[in-house]
Amino acid sequence: MDIAAIIVAAGRGTRAGGDLPKQWRRLKGARVADWTVAALSSHPAIGRVVLVLHPDDLGQAAGFPEVIIATGGATRDASVRAGLEALADDPPDLVLIHDVARPLVSAALIDRVIAGLAHSAGAAPALAVTDALWTGAGDRVTGTRDRAGLFRAQTPQGFRFAAIFAAHRGHKGGPAADDVAIARAAGLDVAIVEGEERNLKITGPEDFARAEALMGKTMDIRTGQGFDVHAFEPGDRVILCGVPVPHDRALKGHSDADVGMHALTDAIYGALAEGDIGQHFPPSDPRWKGAASDIFLRHAAELARSRGYAIANVDVTLICEQPKIGPHAGAMRAELARITGIDPDRISVKATTSERLGFTGRQEGIAALALATLVKA
């Protein structure tokens, strides 16, 4: 069964306030959109994810190399339609349509939606209304309503792709609250599956704190360490943390011998219990001869993201007498930030000498240590 997900992220988040649309604001260090994309793309049944961005936000696409990007419209249903069109050339069997503003969606809830599609063209999560319902005008209650049979709708809302695509294409009734409304207007049967209180939609300013409190209860924190050494050989520069640094020698290695980036890549693999760089990129493979090490680091960072982890911070220590690292540390942090997609203020690059002791002290090579911390809500 081919299952795709569409994450609509083209809204402006006006009710949430703040300087940035809500999907670009942070929860526990990673952006709301990072959590949501990770939650969907790490689900084993979901093969493809489409992220629908506002035209002003297309610059963010580079931070999501593993997803298909589409450009959204002025309303939620126009954005969903853009996501469906992006899948139309190679249509999946099922599609799950999700709000970027619901970053705490669980794998179990996604499983329930998929299971609900076994006997129905649509399936969507919801919670039965448990509070009493009133009508009101100003500050006065004007009436009461029976809550029996009323539900609070959530996402992801799942559908047979062909059915919801036809429903969206044929929809003429103006903006709809959600895809269930569009499906039902087209006569599709939609099953209700159990939603979760945890699957809140970040809507108002107070919802960021609520989401962080919920995340804190189940946070999975992992650390990994990496260590690497490369010997000097004749040359006129070394590559350290992606930055060429003039020197009277080069570092010797199968790839570009970027000892700092290798240590950091191993730290991320270590946190994931995913072996080391040599397992993923064997030195015996001629494809990696002279390779720029950003390939390795990007792979490790994407692996972390695809497993639902955000990189909370990294700390790299270079051990050498020469060259001096301080003047280049800012450029190194910026380069590591660019490759990993995390903020430079979560990346530390520092250096120490070994007081002229040992192989680094004798200037036979450079060593590097790295630590990485990954978090999953």
Ligand X SMILES: C[C@](O)(CO)[C@H](O)COP(=O)(O)O
Ligand Y SMILES: Nc1ccn([C@@H]2O[C@H](COP(=O)(O)OP(=O)(O)OP(=O)(O)O)[C@@H](O)[C@H]2O)c(=O)n1
CA 49 to chain centre: 11
Q: State which residue, 14 or 130, has the beta carbon closest to ligand Y.
A: 14
Does position 230 interact with ligand Y (CB under 6 A)? The reply is no
We find the least distance from the C-beta atom of residue 350 to ligand X, in angstroms, to be 45
Q: Which of residues 44-73 bind ligand Y (CB under 6 A)?
A: 52, 72-73
Q: Is 254 marked within a binding site? A: yes
Q: State which residue, 156 or 323, has the beta carbon closest to ligand X.
A: 156
Pick from 65, 7, 69: which is nearest to 36 by CA?
Answer: 7
- From residue 210, alpha-carbon distances to 27, 187, 206, 309 in Å are 10, 37, 7, 20
Does position 178 interact with ligand X (CB under 6 A)? The reply is yes
Residue among 42, 75, 225, 322 that touches ligand Y (CB under 6 A): 75
Distance CA 277, CA 283 (A): 9
The dihedral sign for the CA sequence 61, 65, 67, 70: positive
Does position 13 interact with ligand Y (CB under 6 A)? The reply is yes
Q: Is 220 marked within a binding site? A: no
Does position 10 interact with ligand Y (CB under 6 A)? The reply is yes
3-class secondary structure, 77: helix
327 burial type by CB count under 10 A (0-12 exposed, 13-18 middle, 19+ buried): exposed
Q: Which of residues 79-118 bind ligand X (CB under 6 A)?
A: 99
Residues 86/91/95/97 CA torsion (nearest 10 deg): 10
Distance CA 282, CA 95 (A): 37
We find the least distance from the C-beta atom of residue 201 to ligand Y, in angstroms, to be 5
Phi, psi for residue 359 in degrees, rounded to 5: -70, -30
We find the least distance from the C-beta atom of residue 138 to ligand X, in angstroms, to be 23
We find the least distance from the C-beta atom of residue 178 to ligand X, in angstroms, to be 4
Residues ≥6 apart with Cβ < 8 Å to 170: 186
Give the one entry of ligand X, ligand Y, none that residue 100 binds, where binding means its C-beta sits below a cut-off of 5 to 8 angstroms depending on kind: ligand Y
Does position 109 interact with ligand Y (CB under 6 A)? The reply is no
Q: Which of residues 199-218 bind ligand X (CB under 6 A)?
A: 201, 203
Binding-site positions: 228-230, 254-255, 262, 276-278, 352-355, 359, 362
Binding-site positions for a divalent metal cation: 228, 230, 262
Q: Which residues bind ligand Y (CB under 6 A)?
A: 8-16, 23, 52, 72-76, 79, 99-101, 201, 203
